[in-house]
Amino acid sequence: RLSRDKADPGHRAPPCLPSLPVLGSLLQLAGHSELHTCFTGLQARYGCLYALRLGSEYLVVVNNHLHAREVLFKKGKEFAGRPHSVTSDLMSRGGKDIAFASYSPLWRFLRKLVHTALSMFGEGSVALQKIICREAEGLCEVLAATQGAPLAMAPELTRAVTNVVCSLCFNSSYRRGDPEFEAMLQYSQGIVDTVGKESLVDIFPWLQYFPNKDLAWLRQCVKARDELLQKKFTEHKEAFCSDSVSDLMDALLRAKLNMENNNSRLEPGLELTDDHLLMTVGDIFGAGVETTTTALKWAIIYMLHYPEVQRKIQEELDQQLGLERRPQLSDRQRLPYLEATISEVLRIRPVAPLLIPHVALVDSSIGDYVIPKGTHVIVNIWAIHHDQDEWDKPEEFNPGRFLDEKGQRIYSPTPSYMPFGSGIRTCLGEVLAKMELFLLLSWILQRFTLELPAHHPLPSLAGKFGIVLQATGFEVKAVPREPERAGP
Ligand code: HEM
């Protein structure tokens, strides 16, 4: 389906959706709340790479893995920019974080710093495994206490994942019912509901000067988030000791103090301000909690739809570990079916179906098409993960596609798989997220069978497009497996 016309490479503009003055191509998208499926459907008419205009912005949508790899990997630096929008600027104080920051030495510095901190306090270390297992145990206790009564899983999953991120960022965690945690849940939901919907105010920035309910709610949620971040920041500053750095906030503070003491700057005019520290930690929260929780929700929803998959995971757990020994990260190799199921969940319901938009920093090209500097590039992971040329029956949930004939794990059966993006702006938390998904799911499924409570309809498999592909709320009945029933 890629253009074979090599006569004039890089000199053709991509096919463009019809566009009106001021509105651009907005009418073509009107009535489609699910942008990822709308963009996928438009391929039938415009091909796998096409352009559109939204307000004054020129956007290109990439629906194919070859073009996606060119943008993210091969020409990663050329497409490493991020667009400014009213909502993302509000969230990140004008890009003073990592995810919404422009490609710059400061972005690179912060990314490296967070990467080092995550590996120091977590990834690969026993410390993180302990933290996640503590949360997994807490989750199992909550499930056991329900004694088979229906339980809304979402808040429990969010608390477990929040506590992991909290431990990494602040070296602290929340108990059930903690008012600070409840407030955090509320503002996080508010942010998810309002950011990333390609809302009109991002297309027509001047709308921010008119009364706007969504924007007012987002401002309130961001204010609540910032107050909490500021509180943690002040506590950390007061207790700071450069010899005992035990979390991300401390690591950022130390970097800032080192810079000030050495009077070193990254580049003239670029300095690490308090805003950068706060927004970077806010970013790890924003990017780290909602994404992993969403993937967990989808995994459990698919377990309810496909009890035979759940059974196979449990058989594998029983065979490899039995019912008593709790799974550890070192067991991942021995549990390929569970790992394949997690991969399949991330394929069929990619958490970030359109990634985060990229921006062309220079005049460039994708395939045969010319892409001017400033173009917003949307990589449609949904289309890539559902591409019929790459996946057999892509709509079918089938963990088996990530296993070979011997039942061994295949990490990527086709290059058309990139749930965490790829290249220079690839997800910073991939390793952490995979650890959480593995440990939390294996601990739950070793001890409980998750069932649909009587008379409850199966939760919808249709996601709601937003900053993440949201799953609808649902309840489960957790039926203890044998040793739980028998007691310790
Ligand atoms: C299942 C869980 C997760 C998924 C599916 C996921 C996916 C993604 C995707 C698709 C991107 C955008 C890549 C791009 O624009 O090219 C991204 C960016 C990012 N993710 Fe994740 N993510 C997950 C968990 C996490 C966690 C746990 C953290 C932090 C601890 C995290 C931190 C980030 C950051 C900081 C960025 C921005 C990177 C940049 O712009 O340089 N993510 N993630």
SS3 352: coil
According to DSSP, the residues that pair with 379 across neighbouring strands are: 62
Q: ipTM for the complex?
A: 0.99
Strands 369-371 and 376-379: unpaired
Q: In which element (H, E) is residue 258 found?
A: helix 248-261
Strands 57-62 and 376-379: parallel
Q: Could you report the per-residue pLDDT of 236-282, keeping only the tens digit for each?
A: 999 888 788 888 899 899 888 888 877 666 566 568 899 999 999 99
Q: In which element (H, E) is residue 442 found?
A: helix 430-447
Determine the pLDDT at residue 17: 87
- Angle at alpha carbon of residue 196, lines to 190 and 202, rounded to 5°: 110
- Angle at alpha carbon of residue 128, lines to 125 and 131, rounded to 5°: 150
SS3 470: strand
Is there a contact between 214 and 201 (Cβ–Cβ < 8 Å)?
Answer: yes
Tokens of 444: 């739950």
Is there a contact between 200 and 213 (Cβ–Cβ < 8 Å)?
Answer: no
Q: Could you report the per-residue pLDDT of 192-226, keeping only the tens digit for each?
A: 777 655 565 565 565 565 567 778 888 898 999 99
Average pLDDT over residues 297-326: 97
Name the residue with the closest Cα to ligand 1, atom 23: 291
Distance of CA 178 to the CA centre of its chain: 25
Rounded CA-CA distance 41/382 in Å is 11
Q: Which atom of ligand 1 is nearest to the CA of 72?
A: 16
Determine the pLDDT at residue 189: 79
pLDDT at 30 over 90: no
Q: Could you report the per-residue pLDDT of 113-156, keeping only the tens digit for each?
A: 898 888 776 555 667 888 999 999 999 999 999 998 999 999 89
How many Cβ atoms sit within 10 Å of the Cβ of residue 210? 9
Name the residue with the closest Cα to ligand 1, atom 21: 427
Determine the pLDDT at residue 259: 81
Question: In sequence order, which residues have a C-beta less than 8 Å from that of residue 179 and are 6 or more positions away?
Answer: none
Determine the pLDDT at residue 185: 80
How many A from CA of 128 to the centre of ligand 1?
A: 18
Taking 3-state DSSP, the helix, strand and coil percentages for the chain, each rounded to the nearest 5, stand at: 50, 10, 40
- CB 352 less than 6 A from any atom of ligand 1: yes
Q: Could you report the per-residue pLDDT of 72-108, keeping only the tens digit for each?
A: 999 999 999 998 888 888 889 999 999 999 999 999 9
How many A from CA of 430 to the centre of ligand 1?
A: 7
Average pLDDT over residues 163-178: 86
Q: Which atom of ligand 1 is nearest to the CA of 351?
A: 5
How many A from CA of 271 to the centre of ligand 1?
A: 24
Determine the pLDDT at residue 121: 64
pTM of the model: 0.93
Average pLDDT of the chain is 88
pLDDT at 63 over 50: yes
* C-alpha dist (Å) from residue 435 to 133, 285, 292, 449: 10, 17, 10, 21
How many A from CA of 97 to the centre of ligand 1?
A: 13
Rounded CA-CA distance 471/460 in Å is 8
- CB 122 less than 6 A from any atom of ligand 1: no
Q: Which is higher by pLDDT, 488 or 405?
A: 405
Rounded CA-CA distance 323/338 in Å is 16
Q: Which atom of ligand 1 is nearest to the CA of 352?
A: 10
Looking from the CA of 399 toward its CB, the CA atoms found within 13 Å total 24
Determine the pLDDT at residue 5: 43
Q: Which atom of ligand 1 is nearest to the CA of 284?
A: 29
Closest by CA to 324, choosing from 138, 442, 483, 135, is: 483
pLDDT at 467 over 80: no
Q: Which atom of ligand 1 is nearest to the CA of 289?
A: 27
- The single-letter code of the amino acid at 99 is A
How many A from CA of 436 to the centre of ligand 1?
A: 14
How many A from CA of 155 to the centre of ligand 1?
A: 21
Q: To test the ligand 1 pocket, which listed residue (158, 428, 468) has its Cβ within 8 A of the most ligand atoms? A: 428
Look up tokens 């498999």; give the residue.
461
Look up tokens 């709320």; give the residue.
473
- The single-letter code of the amino acid at 139 is L
- Angle at alpha carbon of residue 142, lines to 311 and 166, rounded to 5°: 105
pLDDT at 181 over 90: no
Determine the pLDDT at residue 46: 95
Is there a contact between 224 and 187 (Cβ–Cβ < 8 Å)?
Answer: yes
Q: For the chain, how long is the longest CA-to-CA vector?
A: 73
